[in-house]
Homo-oligomer: A and B are copies of this chain.
Amino acid sequence: MKIPNIFEDETKAVSFAAGVTIFSSGDQGEAMFVIQSGQVELSVKGKVVETVGEDGFFGEMALIEDGPRTATAVAKSDCVLVPINRQRFEFMVHEVPQFAVEVMRVLSRRLRRLDDGVV
Contact = CB atoms under 8 A, between A and B. Distances in A.
Interface of A: 44-45, 47, 49, 60-61, 64-65, 67, 70-71, 93-94, 97, 100-101, 103-105, 107-112, 114-115, 118-119
A88 B94 CA distance: 18
Contact of A112 (B45, B70, B108): B70
Given A65-B108, A93-B101, A97-B100, 13 more contacts: A47-B118, A49-B115, A49-B118, A60-B108, A61-B111, A70-B112, A93-B100, A97-B97, A100-B101, A100-B104, A103-B104, A107-B107, A110-B111
B114 A111 contact: yes
A21 to B, nearest CB: 18
B118 A61 contact: no
6 contacts: A45-B115, A45-B118, A67-B112, A107-B111, A114-B114, A114-B115
